[in-house]
């Protein structure tokens, strides 16, 4: 196993330093319309890298068994909308649905495009939008732990696709995380997804966006590697102390090709790997029940 480079460590340290220099400036507003008898819904806004204002939904159960509430951050996937989902976890844990910049409700000054976002600014490593989006995910954890509506106890992160990678990054940089459920985490930055063979027309979106980009700008390949490489979940893996439930799809060609996922699993210190027949839907319905039970166990919910 190759140790991570100094550039990798510097990338993440400087990202966190930059985040620390931005006041959170958290505002929460109760949303009566979407609150229900079992939970109260809040609209949260807070600042992230470069002062960008971000939006998040926060669902808080009206009755909590614990003095410190268990919490789940459901990281956003590669899509314009990240809404409040129903899950049975909502009945007895805080559920946060944060967005990254460019997504709906966090699109005040920048509207992300799909496809398109994955290569936005990729020729400028410091300005690469995905670097900023990973910063936004870390800032969401800060907002969850910094809000004063409910005192949060154990917290977990979950997500699929890009959301899976953002969940892994949360645990990588925020060591209080007690578990990560990642489905087909986006293999952005992994060497396997920027080699000529994997750039074939058989790749599916969103990873295929990298192939589109390099077909038009072949001379920028080193910049693509430089910008995306620190975001490779495989590179983060060894330093993730929290247990990880990882779901992969054998036919996945757009999020986390099986060999990359297996390499990721092999590098995670505590990984429960589940491989399914699907594509980027991972385990689909079968995995939903497994994931909920696994998260409940991590959160200490009966």
Partner 1 sequence: MATKEDLESFVTQVTRPDDFEEFWQGVMAELAQAPLEPRVTPEPMRSNQSVQVSQAFYRSLDGLEIFAWYSVPAQGEGPFPAILVLPGYKSDPGLRRDWGAKGVAVLSVAVRGKLRSNSQFNPGYPGLLTHGVESRDTYSYRGVIADCVRGVDFLLARPEIDPDRIYVSGSSQGGGLALITAGLRPEVRGGVSGYPFLCCFPESMKMLRSFPYDELNCYARAHSGRVPQMIETLRYFDAVNFALSIQCPMVVGIALEDEVCPPETSYAAYRNLAGPKELWLFPNSGHGNAHDYPAKEAAWLDNQIKQDLTQKVHG
Binding mask 219-258 for partner 1 (x = CB under 8 A): --------------------------------x-------
Q: Which stretch binds partner 1 (CB under 8 A): 9-17, 27-35, 163-171, 172-180?
A: 27-35
Q: Given the complex with partner 1, which of 138 and 182 has the nearer CB atom?
A: 182
**Does residue number 175 form part of the binding site for partner 1 (CB under 8 A)?**
no
Residue 64 sits in the site that holds partner 1 (CB under 8 A):
no
In this structure, is the dihedral angle defined by the CA atoms of residues 194, 199, 202 and 204, taken in order, positive or negative? positive
Q: Any contact of residue 108 with partner 1 (CB under 8 A)?
A: no
Nearest distance in Å: CB 290, partner 1: 13
3-state secondary structure of 208: helix
Nearer to partner 1, 47 or 160 (CB): 160
Cα gap 121→228, rounded to integer Å: 11
Residue 220 in tokens: 């920028």
Residue with tokens 């396997």: 192
Q: Are 6 and 230 in contact (CB under 8 A)?
A: no
# binding residues, partner 1 (CB under 8 A): 33
Q: Applying CB under 8 A, which part among 61-69, 76-84, 146-154, 184-192 lies near partner 1?
A: 76-84
- Closest separation in Å from C-beta 97 to partner 1: 11
302 binds partner 1 (CB under 8 A): no
Rounded CA separation 139/54 (Å): 9
Residue 205 interacts with partner 1 (CB under 8 A): yes or no: yes
- Dihedral (Cα; 34, 35, 37, 39), 10-degree rounding: 130
Three-state secondary structure readout of 100-115: CCCCCCCCCCCCCCCC
Dist CA 30 CA 237 (whole Å): 37
Helix orientation angle between 221-228 and 129-146, rounded to the nearest 10 degrees: 10
Note whether 214 and 194 are within 8 A (CB).
yes
Among 115, 191, 259, 300, binds partner 1 (CB under 8 A): 115
- Binding to partner 1 by residue 27, rule CB under 8 A? no
x/- string (CB under 8 A) for partner 1, residues 256-285? --------------------xxxx-x--xx
Which of 300, 187, 292 is closest to 237 using CA atoms? Answer: 187
| Binding residues vs partner 1 (CB under 8 A) | 32-34, 36, 79-81, 83-86, 104-105, 111, 113-115, 201, 205, 212-213, 215-216, 251, 276-279, 281, 284-286, 288
């Amino acid at each position: 196993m190759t140790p991570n480079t100094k550039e990798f460590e510097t990338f993440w340290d400087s990202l966190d330093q930059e985040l620390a220099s931005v006041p959170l400036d958290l505002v929460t507003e109760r949303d009566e319309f979407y609150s229900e008898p079992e939970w109260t819904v809040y609209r949260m806004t807070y600042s992230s890298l470069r002062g960008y204002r971000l939006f998040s939904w926060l669902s808080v159960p009206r009755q909590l068994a614990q003095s410190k509430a268990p919490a789940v951050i459901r990281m956003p996937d590669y899509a314009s909308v990240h809404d409040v989902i129903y899950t049975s976890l909502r009945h007895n844990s805080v559920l946060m649905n944060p967005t990254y910049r460019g997504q709906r409700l966090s699109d005040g000054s920048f509207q992300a495009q799909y496809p398109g976002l994955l290569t936005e600014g990729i020729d400028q490593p410091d300005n690469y939008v995905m670097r900023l989006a990973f910063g936004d995910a870390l800032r969401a954890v800060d907002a969850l732990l910094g809000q004063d509506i409910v005192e949060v106890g154990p917290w977990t992160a979950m997500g699929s696709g890009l959301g899976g990678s953002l969940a892994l990054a949360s645990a990588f940089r925020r060591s209080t995380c007690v578990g990560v459920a990642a489905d087909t985490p986006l293999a952005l930055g992994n060497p396997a997804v920027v080699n000529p063979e994997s750039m074939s027309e058989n790749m599916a979106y969103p990873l295929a966006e990298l192939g589109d980009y390099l077909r038009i700008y072949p001379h920028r390949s080193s910049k693509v590697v430089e910008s995306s490489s620190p975001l490779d979940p495989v590179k983060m893996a060894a330093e993730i102390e929290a247990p990880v439930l990882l779901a992969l799809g054998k036919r996945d060609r757009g999020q986390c090709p099986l060999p990359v996922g297996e390499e990721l699993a092999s590098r995670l210190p505590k990984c429960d790997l589940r491989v399914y027949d699907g594509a980027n839907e991972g385990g689909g319905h079968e995995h939903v029940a497994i994931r909920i039970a696994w998260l409940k166990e991590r959160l200490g919910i009966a």
